[in-house]
Amino acid sequence: MNNYSSSFKYGREHVAFEVVYTKRKTMEIAVHPDAIVIVKVPIGISADKIAARLAKRARWIRKQLSYFQQFIPRTLPRQYAGGETHLYLGRQYRLKIRKGKKGDVKLKGAYFQISTPDQKNRQDVKKLLDNWCKEHARKIFAQRLGICFEKATSLKVPFPSIQLRKMSKRWGSCSNTGYILLNTELIKAPLYCIDYVIMHELCHLKDHSHSHKYYRLLSKYMPDWEKRKERLERAVV
């Protein structure tokens, strides 16, 4: 049988899903962080049975999709002009752009002071600021990982490496090979929100699901994770 894509209605919303036929005995519904719903089914299962299972699990699917929406960065368009504000560790800083012999970024007081040979070249300003933030993200994320890992040593997972990438749909993820991927945009959030994402992924190294068992594990190491989650959801970065 051929795999196919379709959708079902939940309230006023249409939820898309993909059906994948495999050599298995049971049906599995998985909601992925990029908002894709995958239904793995045994070969020979009818579309009606698949639809019935989806209808039964519709509320859970919608809840999972809503959960992953918190990790979608809400980035407002930036012009990279003097006087514009940019976030760093949860605080707003204004750009102060001046002419200099070489490109340079310094954080002083309430300002990002950016020196560049061409003050009007906004792409150069953007590149300078992005590189500065990425460099500081690498250092700060490594520090926070060490702190979070110390608090969760009883997880008994290997110390993970960190990889950075600018992502549009999530703040972080972890791999089966033991590394944590973090969004460089997370450097704009407060430290306690950064810690939440890191602890979230550390617990996923132990349990890759979003089951009640997983949330008990997360609550054990970060009892106030829901408050941190709410703060991250409100952050406009």
Looking at the fold, whether 24 and 101 belong to one and the same domain comes out as: no
How far is 113 from 166, CA to CA, in rounded Å? Answer: 23
**Residue where one domain finishes, among candidates 44, 69, 94:** 69
Q: Is the pLDDT of residue 50 over 70?
A: yes
Q: What is the mean pLDDT of residues 102-122?
A: 93
127 inside domain: yes
Looking at the fold, whether 59 and 163 belong to one and the same domain comes out as: no
Looking at the fold, whether 92 and 62 belong to one and the same domain comes out as: no
95 inside domain: yes
- What total of structural domains would you count in the chain? 2
How far is 64 from 175, CA to CA, in rounded Å? Answer: 19
How far is 61 from 199, CA to CA, in rounded Å? Answer: 24
78 inside domain: no
Looking at the fold, whether 46 and 114 belong to one and the same domain comes out as: no
209 lies in which domain range?
Answer: 85-234
Q: pLDDT band at 197, cuts 50/70/90?
A: very high
Long-range contacts of 139-146 (CB under 8 A, 24+ apart): 140/89, 140/187, 140/191, 140/194, 141/182, 141/186, 141/187, 141/194, 141/198, 144/191, 144/194, 144/195, 144/198, 145/180, 145/198
Question: What are residue 231's phi and psi, to 5 degrees?
Answer: -65, -40
Looking at the fold, whether 143 and 172 belong to one and the same domain comes out as: yes
Q: What's the pLDDT score for residue 72?
A: 58
79 inside domain: no
Phi-psi region of 175 (alpha: psi -120 to 50; beta: other; left: phi over 0): beta
Looking at the fold, whether 58 and 106 belong to one and the same domain comes out as: no
Looking at the fold, whether 55 and 160 belong to one and the same domain comes out as: no
How far is 216 from 21, CA to CA, in rounded Å? Answer: 33
75 inside domain: no
CA distances from 80 to 11, 76, 96, 103, 113 (A): 42, 12, 10, 14, 12
How far is 66 from 75, CA to CA, in rounded Å? Answer: 18
Looking at the fold, whether 27 and 138 belong to one and the same domain comes out as: no
Report the CATH number at residue 151.
3.30.2010.10
Q: What's the pLDDT score for residue 127?
A: 96
**3-state DSSP assignment of residue 171:** coil
How far is 132 from 177, CA to CA, in rounded Å? Answer: 29
Q: pLDDT band at 175, cuts 50/70/90?
A: confident
Burial of 116 (0-12, 13-18, 19+ CB in 10 A): buried
Share of the chain above pLDDT 70, in %: 94
> Residues 131-160: pLDDT tens digits?
999 999 999 999 999 999 999 999 999 999
Looking at the fold, whether 64 and 153 belong to one and the same domain comes out as: no
